[in-house]
Amino acid sequence: MTSYRSARALDAQEQHTRLVLFFPGFRRIARGNPVIWEGTVQPIGGTTYKIQIEHKRNHRPLVRVVEPALERREADIPIPHTFKTGEICLHLRAEWNSSRYIHETIVPWTVTWLFFYEVWRATGQWLGGGHEPENDESEQLEIESE
């Protein structure tokens, strides 16, 4: 797996400047720590999803779909690749660190995730690949060890 740990950590303002430059549909709705951005994406040019990206210093960004609400296919079967807190699971821990731009990683991964979510809703099959972690506690939400 590629390692991205060589570069220096980016601060919130650096992330913000690039994010809204490349994705003008995003705006910052909370400053400080964490910073929260809200914006819209349209994976297939149809449904528009409003999403929030919450970024606390030295943590991986959390992505929530605000609307339309994500829906299960069956009441007792969770949506694949989501945390029980409701955030969506986009990457392994080693695939992101604070030196990586959110607009180059988190946003494209979110759009791709939403595409495969729609496919899963339609077919019952998750076709976006990914990791099934079993009881791999180390991959749970936690402070990034840099």
Is residue 129 involved in binding other proteins (CB under 8 A)?
yes
# of chain residues touching other proteins (CB under 8 A): 54
Is residue 74 involved in binding other proteins (CB under 8 A)?
no
Q: Which is nearer to other proteins, 33 or 141 (CB)?
A: 141
Is residue 59 involved in binding other proteins (CB under 8 A)?
no
Q: Which is nearer to other proteins, 30 or 44 (CB)?
A: 44
Contact (Cβ atoms closer than 8 angstroms) between residue 130 and residue 88: no
Is residue 111 involved in binding other proteins (CB under 8 A)?
yes
Is residue 43 involved in binding other proteins (CB under 8 A)?
yes
Residue 6 beta carbon to other proteins: minimum distance, rounded to whole angstroms = 16
Contact (Cβ atoms closer than 8 angstroms) between residue 70 and residue 82: yes
Nearest-5° Cα angle at 93, 86 to 20: 70
Is residue 99 involved in binding other proteins (CB under 8 A)?
no
Is residue 23 involved in binding other proteins (CB under 8 A)?
yes
**DSSP H or E segment with residue 29:** strand 27-30
Is residue 89 involved in binding other proteins (CB under 8 A)?
yes
Contact (Cβ atoms closer than 8 angstroms) between residue 112 and residue 128: yes
For 79-87, the CB contacts below 8 A with 24+ separation are 79/117, 79/120, 80/120, 80/126, 80/130, 81/113, 81/126, 81/128, 81/130, 83/141, 85/141, 87/62, 87/63, 87/141
Contact residues: other proteins, CB under 8 A: 2, 22-25, 39-47, 78-84, 89-92, 95, 103-105, 107-109, 111-113, 115-116, 118-119, 121-123, 125, 127-134, 136, 139-140
